[in-house]
Amino acid sequence: MKRFTVSSNQPKTFKRMGRNCEMATFLIEKKQIGNIGMREELDLQLHLAACSMCRLFQEQSKLINQLVQGLTQSPRLDELFKAQMHGLIMSELKKIN
């Protein structure tokens, strides 16, 4: 993955934008983990309004977090399946006894 770097010969605007994008991506991740302050939320929303790359990052980050959460949740058996399995187990146990 290529990292955005700012060389010293680029205008100050690009340097600030790079730092702002770093802060925006940090706030996007922080917001998904927990809460961010009102000032941070305002700064993030202002940046997202102007930066399509960070909006894309936010969408992708949300999707990745949802997929990871889906992988880490344990599957649950529905009640009908449980009842059917219980019935099969009980019938097999009766055969043994």
Distance CA 44, CA 49 (A): 9
Q: What is the pLDDT of residue 13?
A: 46
* Rg for the chain, CA atoms, rounded: 25
| Poorest-pLDDT segment among 9-13, 14-18, 69-73 | 9-13
Distance CA 27, CA 43 (A): 9
The whole-chain average pLDDT of the chain stands at 82
Residue 14 pLDDT > 60: no
Locate tokens 């340097």: which residue? 15
pTM, rounded to two decimals: 0.58
Q: Residue 51 in contact with residue 75, Cβ under 8 Å? A: no
Q: What is the pLDDT of residue 95?
A: 85
Domain chopping of the chain, boundaries: 12-96
Determine the average pLDDT of the residues in 13-31.
Answer: 80
Q: What is the pLDDT of residue 54?
A: 95
